[in-house]
Amino acid sequence: MHALVELARRSVEEYVRRRKVLQLPHDLTPEMKERLGVFICIKKRGELRGCIGTYQPCCENVGMEIIRNAVAAASQDPRFLPVAEEELSELAYSVDILTAPEKVDDLRGLDPKEFGVIVSCGSRRGLLLPDLEGVDTVADQIRITKMKAGIAPGEEVEVRRFRVRRYT
């Protein structure tokens, strides 16, 4: 298991079992020292169980982002009940490290397998990670992201794209 995924797993287990936030390890990998946005996705038997992240960094480094977002994915994703201790052995984790978002003026510059997207309209904003099962076209990607943000299909949006380094 990659060190980033191991950190996410340990963070969730520490929080679920003891209600404590894991301390940042002293032996940070080079990836953990960066300052980028991070998404943590948790699956149980192949089904999404929680996914929360930041597209811009909120913490001093990726290691702290992983700890913060892993706990949030396990306990604060509004789509799911908090993870229970008896589920821990069934969970699989992925860690996505995001590049800085860049504005897209032409949707032909998107590819749902390569780029994630952020759409915004006023204060409403939605994000969709790249390379998700069932999201095969740019139209699907934009439609789903608008829906997540509460943006009507016909409303104009600003689109930003980003890449991820995914660790599983």
| Tens of pLDDT, residues 68-109 | 999 999 999 999 999 999 999 999 999 999 999 999 999 999
In a domain, 168, yes or no: no
In a domain, 54, yes or no: yes
> Which residue is associated with the tokens 């993870």?
83
User: What global pTM score does this model have?
Assistant: 0.92
Same domain, 93 and 106: no
Helix (H, G, I), strand (E, B) or coil at 68: helix
Same domain, 17 and 82: yes
| CA–centroid distance for 133 within its chain | 15
Residue 112 domain boundaries:
102-163
Same domain, 91 and 34: yes
Same domain, 33 and 9: yes
Last residue of one domain, picked from the residues 56, 75, 98: 98
> Which residue is associated with the tokens 């860049």?
102
Same domain, 17 and 49: yes
Q: Are 59 and 68 in contact (CB under 8 A)?
A: yes
**Structural domain count of the chain:** 2
Residue 50, pLDDT score: 98
Residue 156 token pair = 């104009």
> Which residue is associated with the tokens 């998107």?
110
Same domain, 90 and 108: no
Residue 96, pLDDT score: 97
Helix (H, G, I), strand (E, B) or coil at 41: strand
> Which residue is associated with the tokens 């797993």?
9
Same domain, 40 and 18: yes
Residue 1, pLDDT score: 86
User: What's the average pLDDT block by block, 10 residues per block, for the chain (168 residues)?
Assistant: 96 98 94 96 97 96 98 97 98 97 96 97 96 95 96 95 96
CA proximity to 51, closest of 40, 38, 62: 40
